Structure 1
């Protein structure tokens, strides 16, 4: 096998491989001889078909099969010989395939970039911590009650926080506009789900009353033709209802899995869930800071093939999230979800994958099996039959691999924190669990 390699541009490489004719021809002959022993053709007994006839009938197909296998195998032998690591699939173009002549093909591909791991001592990380107080638990219990609230009809004027059931018709210059009508629409006053002035205009309304609201759409409204438009809504109020919160009784506690122990056990469970959420949020904030620091400290040339692959992954995830998986084959996904929607996130994920992969390699970090077990058990603890969930994870390699990747990321973060400048800061539950303005994913596809 003859191999030559050249750099065409940046990370792109062009590999030219020559394969001796004998290597291909001898394998083709071998397979044809094997076929001659079993093939059935009219006019010949089984195993008695002349090799010349077998070659005439099957030679081209067998040769094509052998060429594919040989080219694929020798490509990977060639990149190992040249000590290069392809990123993504190569583009292979045969240049000589004639029988009796040496086979030649050209493979074009990108390689992984070299990443020089930075000094983590320059990283400055703030680590927040907090405790779950009785007030925090009270607030969470109130949130749960709000989620289970019911709406009860009242015979009075609507107040802020009430729910009104309405019909409405919106017009602009006397003409109805698209999206401006509704029937039996339940609207919570104060929810800010309608344009400014709409909900305020219904405070004080009674069931059976008709009101006319003269309003103006905001200048930043999403529909271009309605930005800043003066409109009029005619509204009929059918019902006024007040929110009624459920009492803290056994029926309410049972909805959250507490069948014995009453309010004390319910609050214990709420606190445990809040502490779990608090711990995860604190870890996530630290992790995001570490990943931002890694990105800021490394400039990495990104293989286009990896970005393209990551964009496709993100596009499919978005499709599944919105329930379009079943009919995906009938959709023009690149028109509905163009590459530009995912390009920035894909570049970030690929860059982090490359950097983190190099940290793992440089620090010789391997997945801690005990931490994997602990994470699986923590996940399982939120289910009624934890042991069954643990067994399910360990019998499903795809699920287990996901946990192993998460643990490996945590180990990388711990490794960096050991060298970084870390400031511990006491905070509150609400502050720690509050999401960042732009919630980023901490890790991309593993570079290994």
Structure 2
């Protein structure tokens, strides 16, 4: 049996990443332009969630890949041999090795995606190649093992309990406060005529703290900059008021909860004020309003009010989602979960416990592990509930929202969108954002069903003509996991 080879197809272009999810199904028919006549896939049920595909790709279909791999080998230059000359048997041996890599990396993922689509399955785990047979004059045969996501029925929405909430009207005072906060967010430091620390000033300080004469974690630092009245170093801020640059002060403070094991202890600090500046607010003028693409203060107030209203509505939606995440699992009996994911989780928990808390006794580790395993199973159960609702309700998630979020992150990283998506960080963030937005859309759909509200129907997508379609340039992703 061929040693197991694991693969995970990666999409080539950023647009493909978005379009692959835009239809609201586990797999979009437009993503699979490969004629089934070239590939036969027989499904085997191995019990629980385990499945196997016996895939055969016709010689007509696979021959261009054979030829391309063989030609690359023919162009290889070996030391001690003339161009085009090789040791006896070298070509055949290398062809087998390179073809195995080609199959695992590109060929099998492509046809596995098609087979999953044709059989209306959604893979929960990466596939392993258990058997692989090929030569340059024969079709390619492979046997793949994998696990599928549980296929669950829609919940009984009448058993869910939500209390409809209406957002309170935005007041003029709230608008004024929000505008002041927006001004503060764009304020700039300027020199003070009388350099004495006051509330709202920007300070730069050095400090050294000790507890019982000993230094402690995060108790010493230099050139720390923050605004008086912000959330940074609240234990020191009252003692900085009234200080002048280059002044030193000795104070005793009670350490807050942020100091962990040292919280509640009395610390002795030496404070040195290096500089103080006042924060100057920008004027409410055309230049300021232009940041929100409006011209007048009246338009700016309306925009601010609309943003506050939207934020308040989002808070209500978030509360619905939280309630539903708590209630949904109770509507279902236990169901099988992918063994491979549970095994991976088990191993990961062992590593984390050993690394984070090596001093724990075996009994405490076993108890902590049991808690973490239960948490993992609960998260997987909820995720597969949401995934099933996503498919059966045909929930539509507009990819433009994902693009907008990713674009913002790309700008933060000083990159354009395509370059960002090609990076490991961008790829990971894409999956995280897509998963979060899909989960939110599912929970919003459930809330709408509970309240009897109208729902947005998914756009209709038509299969395109597969005849004469060049599929060599396509790469497809079937990963629709929503995990956080």
TM-score range, shorter chain: 0.5 to 0.7
* In structure 2, C-alpha distance between the alignment counterparts of 1:237 and 1:18, rounded to whole Å: 72
**How much does 1:195 deviate?**
6.0
User: Does structure 1 residue 194 correspond to structure 2 residue 233?
Assistant: yes
1:388 aligned partner: none
* In structure 2, C-alpha distance between the alignment counterparts of 1:59 and 1:172, rounded to whole Å: 73
| Residue from 166, 169, 175 that aligns with 1:137 | 175
**How much does 1:168 deviate?**
2.8
Please tell me the root mean square deviation across aligned C-alpha atoms, in Å.
6.1
Give the conservation status (yes or no) of the 8 Å contact 2:175–2:305. Answer: yes
* In structure 2, C-alpha distance between the alignment counterparts of 1:343 and 1:257, rounded to whole Å: 50
**How much does 1:422 deviate?**
7.1
Secondary structure of residue in 1 paired with 2:307: helix
* In structure 1, C-alpha distance between the alignment counterparts of 2:115 and 2:280, rounded to whole Å: 73
1:354 aligned partner: 384
Secondary structure of residue in 1 paired with 2:165: strand
Matches within 5 A, 1:17-416: 58-60=91-93, 87-94=124-131, 108-130=145-167, 131-151=169-189, 152-155=191-194, 158-174=197-213, 179-194=218-233, 196=235, 198-218=236-256, 221-222=259-260, 224=261, 226-227=262-263, 229-258=265-294, 260=295, 262-298=296-332, 299-305=334-340, 350-363=380-393, 365=394, 367=396, 372=398, 412-413=442-443, 416=446
* In structure 1, C-alpha distance between the alignment counterparts of 2:127 and 2:308, rounded to whole Å: 49
Give the conservation status (yes or no) of the 8 Å contact 2:317–2:444. Answer: no
**How much does 1:138 deviate?**
1.5
Give the TM-score of the pair, scaled to structure 2: 0.51
* In structure 1, C-alpha distance between the alignment counterparts of 2:203 and 2:44, rounded to whole Å: 76
TM-aligned CA distance change 1:214 to 1:307, over 3 Å: same
* In structure 2, C-alpha distance between the alignment counterparts of 1:148 and 1:57, rounded to whole Å: 68
Give the conservation status (yes or no) of the 8 Å contact 1:158–1:204. Answer: yes
Give the TM-score of the pair, scaled to structure 1: 0.55
Give the conservation status (yes or no) of the 8 Å contact 2:152–2:385. Answer: yes
2:9 aligned partner: none
> Which structure shows the higher strand fraction?
1
Higher Cα Rg, which structure: 1
Give the conservation status (yes or no) of the 8 Å contact 2:207–2:222. Answer: yes
Where structure 1 has 5 or more consecutive residues not aligned to the other structure, the ranges are: 41-52, 98-102, 312-333, 384-391, 424-443
* In structure 2, C-alpha distance between the alignment counterparts of 1:408 and 1:229, rounded to whole Å: 46
* In structure 1, C-alpha distance between the alignment counterparts of 2:273 and 2:438, rounded to whole Å: 58
Secondary structure of residue in 1 paired with 2:253: strand
Secondary structure of residue in 2 paired with 1:153: coil
* In structure 2, C-alpha distance between the alignment counterparts of 1:163 and 1:18, rounded to whole Å: 67
* In structure 2, C-alpha distance between the alignment counterparts of 1:186 and 1:411, rounded to whole Å: 40
**How much does 1:122 deviate?**
0.8
Give the conservation status (yes or no) of the 8 Å contact 2:436–2:482. Answer: no
* In structure 2, C-alpha distance between the alignment counterparts of 1:221 and 1:359, rounded to whole Å: 43
TM-aligned CA distance change 1:254 to 1:446, over 3 Å: closer
Give the conservation status (yes or no) of the 8 Å contact 2:439–2:482. Answer: no
